[in-house]
Amino acid sequence: MTPLPGRSCDGCTTCCSVPAIEAAGFSKPPSVACAHCTGSGCAIYDLRPAPCRAFECGWQVLPIIPEALKPDRSGVLVVADEAAPPGYASATAIKFIFITDASIASLPLLECIAGLVHARAAVFAAAPGPAGHHSLKTLLNPRIEHAVEQRDAAGIALTLASIVAKLRDGPFERAS
C-alpha cells in the first residue's frame, strides 16, 4: 500500500527493532535493534531484505490511524494481524503494540480504538517481549465494547492500561 501523504518515516526506526525479521541469509530476533539500523534509518536501504520492503506500518497506510500515533513519538506500533477471530467485520485484525505507555490514555488513540471496535473490526493490544522473545497480545473487543458504546473514554483508558500492564508480565515465548 502507498503511504498516506505526509506519513514518512522521517527518523523513526521502530519497525527495525520491534518485529522479528526472517529472510534468506537474514535473521533479526524480536525486540532487538537490527544491526543495519543507523538510529535514524537503514544502512543497507537499497539492499534491505524482502520482509522490510513488504512491511506495512499501520500509521503510514491506514487513514483511521491518526497522525499523532507516529510510532517514534507515540510509543505505539500499529500493524495488521492475520488472526482476526470469526464474527468480525474483516479477516484482518488491527494490532496496537504498546512499546511505551506514552499515548495509552491519549484521546487520539482512544478515539481510534473506539472507532475500530464500533465498526466491528477485531482489535488486539500487544506488548513486546524482552530481547529475543515474541510479543504477547490479547483481543480488546470483548473487554471494551461496553465502554465504547457508552462513549466512556475514561473507562476504555483504564481497561486498556490494565490489559497492557498484565501483558507486560508475560510469560513471553523465546523466539527460536
Bridge partner residues of 95 (DSSP): 79, 124
Q: What are 39's three cell numbers?
A: 538510529
Residues 105-164 within binding reach of ligand SF4 (CB under 6 A): none
Q: Tell me the C-alpha to C-alpha distance, in Å, between residue 82 and each of 21, 86, 122.
A: 17, 12, 10
| Residue among 36, 73, 143, 168 that touches ligand SF4 (CB under 6 A) | 36
Query: Closest approach of Cβ 166 to ligand SF4, in Å?
Result: 25
Q: Cβ distance 161 to 140 under 8 Å?
A: no
Does residue 73 touch ligand SF4 according to CB under 6 A? no
Which of 30, 31, 32, 57 is close enough to bind ligand SF4 by CB under 6 A? Answer: 57
Residue placing its CB nearer to ligand SF4 in the complex, 62 or 148 = 62
Least distance in angstroms from the C-beta of 71 to ligand SF4? 4
C-alpha neighbours within 13 Å on the C-beta side of residue 118: 14
Would you give the DSSP letter of residue 52?
H
Give least dist CB 61 to ligand SF4, A: 9
